[in-house]
A and B are shown apart, each in its own frame.
Chain A
Amino acid sequence: MTAQTAMTYVRAFLVGGAICVVAQLILDLTRINPAHVMVLFVCLGALISGLGLYAPLVEIGGAGATVPLTGFGHALFQGVAKNVATEGPVGLLTGGLRATALGLSVAVVSGAIVAIIFNPKG
């Protein structure tokens, strides 16, 4: 492994870990529950992406920025921006789901398959 490749792991760890730390602080210092924090982070990701500040974070952190749920929000907004550029205002409604179709489909289908195959414990 080259030093350059090794650094991508370090940066992913640091950026991804830092995002999770912010989430943990919000969870522990306020009274909202984990599901709220997850929703909040997707929305924050879309917002930060809209301000043009999330793409630089992806440049720095790589998967450390795209794997957390803020990265999902970023993907949603990037899809919106891309389709608005190519299709006009209709792109507002088509971009988000189109850009995240792979992740959502895989999540739903693998979730359903696992729930069919396995049984709950206890």
Chain B
Amino acid sequence: MAKNRRSTKSKARGTARALMARGVPGVGRSPGKRSEQVERYKQLAQEVGPKRPLARNVLAAFVVGGAICALGQGVLNYLLARGLPKEEGIGLASAALVVIAALLTGIGVYDVVGEFGGMGSAIPITGFANSIVSPALEFKREGYVLGVGARLFTVAGPVIVWGLVVSILVGAVRLLLGAP
């Protein structure tokens, strides 16, 4: 086993050396320069990848993001008209959008919206719901614990972690400064 591994390794090194001899850039460098290689890969990916026009992306984000927020305003107006206090109305309106987006992700519609709207569909709370459902659904075959249960938090996890940390830090700084 160990012998086998060593032979594979030396073979790989041999290939790298051969490529280096042929002057292929980015091959055979020491591991310490790995970040350099990653940078080079990113640069190449950006050069080769399709260029999406900025103006189109920005317009799509504005229209889709604005429309989702206007929908949220519709729910909020309805709740306020029914006599709910503003703070509760805001929370419930967002919750309603989350449920709608989760269902739309389930039937595969939200991904279409996402492809068109870019950040306009990712930044509203509906995008947060989408980021929860999408990986959970995709990794369903890995089971309900490590598939659905864990992958629900692929993006929601980082969002909650850093949101909490920053809000606590900001609160602590304000407390230390004696802000009202």
Contact = CB atoms under 8 A, between A and B. Distances in A.
Interface of A: 5, 8-9, 12-21, 23-29, 31, 34-35, 37-39, 41-43, 45-47, 49-50, 58, 61-64, 66-73, 75-77, 79-81, 84, 89, 91-93, 95-97, 102-104, 106-108, 110-121
A81 B169 CA distance: 11
Given A31-B42, A119-B137, A96 B93 contact: no
B128 A38 contact: yes
Interface of B: 42, 46, 52, 54, 57-58, 60-70, 72-77, 90-95, 97-99, 102-103, 105-108, 117-120, 122-129, 131-133, 136-138, 140, 144, 148-149, 152, 155-156, 158-160, 162-164, 166-168, 170-175
A9 B64 contact: no
A67 to B, nearest CB: 4
Given A17-B69, A76-B164, A67 B129 contact: no
B80 to A, nearest CB: 9
B72 A66 contact: yes
Main secondary structure on B side of the interface with A = helix
B95 A27 contact: no
A47 B137 CA distance: 33
B123 A23 contact: yes
A9 B33 CA distance: 53
Given A20-B120, A38-B155, A110-B99, A120 B167 contact: no
A103 B95 contact: yes
17 contacts: A19-B123, A29-B54, A39-B162, A42-B163, A64-B70, A68-B69, A71-B125, A76-B164, A80-B167, A95-B171, A103-B94, A106-B95, A107-B132, A108-B156, A114-B133, A114-B136, A115-B133
Contacts of B131: 35, 38
A118 B137 contact: yes
Contacts of A24: 57-58, 60-62, 118-120
Given A20-B119, A77-B170, A114-B102, A9 B163 contact: no
B119 A14 contact: no
